Amino acid sequence: MIVLDARRLVIVTFEGAQLLDVVGPLDVFSGANMLAGRGMYDLEVAAIGRSVRASCGLRISTTPLGTVDGPMHTLMVAGGIGEGLTDRPTVRLVREIARLAEVSERITSVCTGALLIAAAGLLDGKRATTHWIAADILQERHPEVQVDAGPIYIHDGDTWTSAGVTAGIDLALALVAFDHGEGLANDVARMLVLPGRRNGNQAQYAPQLAVGARDNSPLAGLVTWIAEHPTDDLTVAALADRAGYSERHLARVFKAEFAVTVAEHVQSVRLDVARRLLETTSLDLDGVARQCGFRHRETLHRHFERRLGTTPANYRRTFGHGSTGGD
DNA sequence: ATATCTCCCCGCCAAA
DNA sequence: TCTTTGGCGGGGAGAT
């Protein structure tokens, strides 16, 4: 095995931070260490004091920032959707981040951590993302940052930013992949029993999240039915008929309730079915396409590339359970 | 890759 | 009058 120096990685957090922003990436990096059987990453969690209390109430001990010195490979700044979002970042924290950035090769942020690194002037002229709730605030405070609230993480040069909370896990996996290859990153994802590694271009919220928001809606039944019958005729006409609405009205109320059009939702549902089939079966791609309601393999392929940034065959190779054999 | 055909969505207006 | 619903048509995206 090739011997490499461990990369030193410091995660900066603060009082009232989102704990998942810290421990999500931490578990990914330590998982990489474990699976690689040696120290890939030298991990440290730092804050202003010797401990901080996260927003969920759990207290964690930290290395005082004042005692942290370079050089380091990666500086990662966590966020929080409470204090970290609404409060102006404290001068001292920002100053420490700016100081450490000088001695880091790579700057990364999770969630609203982007607000902190932006305040330290580290995002000027860069493309960056943050929790969708904070995107407007980031753009307002820092017009020189090219904020894009779409992707779950953005890589611009030596700066990586991620969307809210669990997107930090995706970011960490992307960093592991960047540093040590897709293989190790995928192994870590599998070990953490993640449903699959998400591509950076994936949207911050999927229609599935919006769906189910209101159980009392007359559309809830329809949405459930769609999920259970992906191969049925799910055209707007057929669904309107089923719901007892005109096509026009269904389109209108559906968009109003879920902020997604009917066709877009149907596509997401079918794509989910396709992913599951690719992960758990060895059904050929024509079969997969048909079983999830796409009439042709090409249609499945196109949707897959656009929404997930990969091809069905590629996806199966990565996440399929029989991915060790030939194909 | 391109062309043609289909489907979808939404503004607008009318009816209920 | 105000709100909800349906029909129409065009522009555009998607499917074959």
Mean pLDDT over A208-228 rounds to 67
Distance A295 CA to C16 C1' (A): 10
Q: CA–CA separation, A133 vs A259, rounded Å?
A: 16
Q: Using the CA of A243, which nucleotide's C1' is the nearest one?
A: C5
A258: region left, alpha or beta (phi > 0 left; psi from -120 to 50 alpha): alpha
Predicted pLDDT at A61: 95
Q: CA–CA separation, A83 vs A15, rounded Å?
A: 8
Q: Using the CA of A249, which nucleotide's C1' is the nearest one?
A: C5
Distance A210 CA to B6 C1' (A): 29
Residues in contact with A142: Cβ distance below 8 Å, sequence separation at least 6, in sequence order:
A118, A119, A123, A124
Q: Quick: pLDDT tens for A123-167.
A: 998 989 998 778 878 888 898 888 877 678 888 889 999 988 888
Distance A304 CA to C9 C1' (A): 32
Distance A304 CA to B13 C1' (A): 39
Q: Quick: pLDDT tens for A274-289.
A: 887 887 788 888 888 9
Q: Taking all atoms of strand C, which protein residues have CB closer than 7 Å?
A: A 245-246, 248-249, 252-253, 267, 294-296, 298-299, 302-303
The pTM assigned to this predicted structure is 0.62
Distance A272 CA to C2 C1' (A): 42
